[in-house]
Every structure is written in structure tokens, then in C-alpha cells.
């Protein structure tokens, strides 16, 4: 992994966190959730297990409702959130 690729992974992680916090765009909570899950999968598939794991922590905070006035998205299938990071 080159430094440029690590910077890309860190930028995607930071952007995804800001999305979950509602700082980048407004959307239905399920859409924000799915966006973050997709980015987590991209990071994990590219071998950036640390960034994927860190984003997973933020996804769980989002599910608890820490960043929005909704009650999280706990009704979504929890199996969507668990996978092997390969790290």
C-alpha cells in the first residue's frame, strides 16, 4: 500500500464519518446507513482493515442515534454490519 492509497482510505473514512454526523448531505437515515456500509465494504475489500473497523465503530454510534434526532436504524438487519475485515 502506498502512502497515496492510505491517504485515500483515510479521506474516505473521514468523509463517511461526516456523512453519518449529517455534515455532508441530508438524507433518510437508512440511506446514510447504507452509504456508510458500502464505504466500509470498499475499504475492507481494498485491504484497509483499520479504516473499515474504525468506520464500523462510527456506524454503531449512528445506529444508537448519537448524531440524529431519530432513534437510530436498529430495525435494519444487523447481519449487514458484520463481516471479516481480513486484518
- pLDDT tens digits for range 23-49: 998 889 999 999 999 999 999 999 999
> Could you tell me if 81 and 37 are in contact, meaning their C-beta atoms sit under 8 angstroms apart?
yes
Quote the pLDDT of residue 3. 78
Instruction: Average the pLDDT over 54-64 and give the result.
Output: 96
pLDDT score recorded for residue 83: 53
pTM for this one? Answer: 0.77
CB 16 within 8 A of CB 38: no
Helix axes 3-20 and 29-45, enclosed angle (nearest 10)? 160
Is the Cα torsion angle 58, 52, 43, 79 positive or negative in sign?
negative
Q: Which residues contact 17 (CB under 8 A, 6 or more apart)?
A: 55, 58
Greater confidence (44 vs 68) lies with 44
**pLDDT band with cut points at 50, 70 and 90 for residue 75:** very low
Q: Alpha-carbon distance 83 to 39, whole Å?
A: 13
Every domain of the chain and the residues it spans:
3-81
Amino acid at each position: 500500500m502506498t502512502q497515496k492509497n492510505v491517504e485515500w482510505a483515510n479521506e474516505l473514512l473521514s468523509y463517511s464519518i461526516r456523512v453519518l454526523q449529517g455534515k455532508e448531505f441530508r438524507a433518510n437515515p437508512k440511506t446514510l446507513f447504507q452509504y456508510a456500509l458500502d464505504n466500509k465494504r470498499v475499504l475492507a475489500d481494498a485491504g484497509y482493515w483499520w479504516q473499515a473497523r474504525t468506520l464500523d465503530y462510527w456506524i454503531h454510534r449512528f445506529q444508537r442515534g448519537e448524531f440524529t434526532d431519530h432513534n437510530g436504524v436498529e430495525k435494519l438487519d444487523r447481519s449487514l454490519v458484520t463481516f471479516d475485515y481480513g486484518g
